Amino acid sequence: MGQFLMQEQLGLAAIVTYRNPPGNVWVLEAVCELAETVTALGARSDIRALVLTGAGDACFSVGSDCAALSLGGAAFAERWAAAWEAALGALDRYPGVTVAALNGDAMGVGLGCALACDFMVVERRIRLGMPETRMGLVPLAGCSKRLVDKVGQAWAKRILLGGEEVDAELACRIGLAEELVDPGCAKIVALSLAGKAARQGAQAVAATRGLLREAASSTLARQAQHEHELYLRLLAGEEAREGLAALAAGRVPGWVPDED
């Protein structure tokens, strides 16, 4: 267990909980810890999915350590930006599926963490926003692109340029979040999503995540060629042989624990 991040394992899924009360504000040490934690979990064969959530029931994270940013100077700002690029880059490179369980408000880099995950589960009472321009700043670590990719230019402009906060219901309607749940249920539903994803072939999931990332900027012909190459490579591997044999025999693949 780190200073800021608590880890637990449930089946094939890891639960990473950020704890920095009262608002789970992100500080530099915690951002560095996030990058290290996600990278380490990605190297473990006994974990195939990751759930990221916040401690308590009020905030997923209200955002950045504004006091440190205002007083830290140029050197601190450079370290801060690099740390976020490393942390969200680690989430991008994580080979399994990542799910953000938003148990409270997510603002600024708090929402940025969730945007870097594959799925976002939100509770009905919460609000989401990126108030960077209100602070005279811009988003970090590719968050402007992540937001545009999810909600399109129009809503990204309203959130980033207009400082508009959206509630959980609207977040689901515009595609910012994938699942709307009752208060107190985000972690449970996120674990269910992670558990389903963890039962898939790890190599197939990693390859498919790469295909999905490339799809927006790829042509149909180039994407089809890449799929062709990956399909043949995976088909020749042990994971596909086991997966096909399990399906033919009506059993679960060997990588799924017996207790599942």
| Same domain (yes/no): 50, 141 | yes
Residue 210, both tokens: 């790469």
Domain encompassing residue 206: 202-249
DSSP track, 131-170: -GGGGT----TTHHHHHHHHHHHHHHHHHHTS---EEHHH
Assigned domain for 254 exists: no
Assigned domain for 160 exists: yes
| Same domain (yes/no): 238, 118 | no
**Does 260 score more than 60 pLDDT?**
no
Instruction: Tell me what the mean pLDDT of segment 163-173 comes to.
Output: 96
**Does 170 score more than 60 pLDDT?**
yes
| Same domain (yes/no): 238, 156 | no
- Per-residue pLDDT of 74-102, as tens digits, reads 999 999 999 999 999 999 999 999 999 99
Q: Whole-number mean pLDDT of the chain?
A: 93
Angle 142-1-130 from CA coordinates, rounded to 5°: 25
| Same domain (yes/no): 193, 209 | no
**Does 259 score more than 70 pLDDT?**
no
Write the CATH number for 88. Answer: 3.90.226.10
**Number of domains into which the chain is organized:** 2
**Does 146 score more than 90 pLDDT?**
yes
Domain termination site, one of 198, 214, 241: 198
pLDDT of amino acid 189: 96
| Same domain (yes/no): 180, 76 | yes
| Torsion over CA: 10, 16, 253, 185 (sign) | positive
Residue 51, both tokens: 């759930």
Nearest to 115 by CA among 169, 24, 177: 177
Assigned domain for 153 exists: yes
Q: What is the pTM of this model?
A: 0.91
* Neighbouring C-beta atoms of residue 33, cutoff 10 Å: 19
| Same domain (yes/no): 72, 171 | yes
CA 101 to chain centre: 9
Assigned domain for 260 exists: no
pLDDT of amino acid 39: 97
Assigned domain for 66 exists: yes
- Per-residue pLDDT of 174-183, as tens digits, reads 999 999 999 9
| Same domain (yes/no): 106, 174 | yes
Instruction: Identify the three-state secondary structure at position 20.
Output: coil
| Same domain (yes/no): 37, 109 | yes
**Does 2 score more than 80 pLDDT?**
no
Strand partners, 127: 167
Assigned domain for 256 exists: no
- Cβ neighbourhood burial of 155 (10 Å; 0-12, 13-18, 19+): buried
Assigned domain for 257 exists: no
Residue 257 — very low, low, confident or very high, per pLDDT cuts 50/70/90?
confident
**Does 118 score more than 90 pLDDT?**
yes
CA dihedral 53, 54, 58, 61 (to 10 degrees): -100
| Same domain (yes/no): 37, 12 | yes
| Same domain (yes/no): 140, 191 | yes
**Does 46 score more than 70 pLDDT?**
yes
Instruction: Identify the three-state secondary structure at position 3.
Output: coil
Dist. CA 235–CA 33, nearest whole Å: 37
- Cβ neighbourhood burial of 236 (10 Å; 0-12, 13-18, 19+): exposed
| Same domain (yes/no): 12, 110 | yes
Assigned domain for 30 exists: yes
**Does 258 score more than 80 pLDDT?**
no
- Per-residue pLDDT of 55-75, as tens digits, reads 988 899 999 888 888 888 899
| Same domain (yes/no): 187, 236 | no
Q: What percent of the chain has pLDDT over 90?
A: 81
Domain termination site, one of 198, 220, 238: 198
Dist. CA 30–CA 16, nearest whole Å: 12
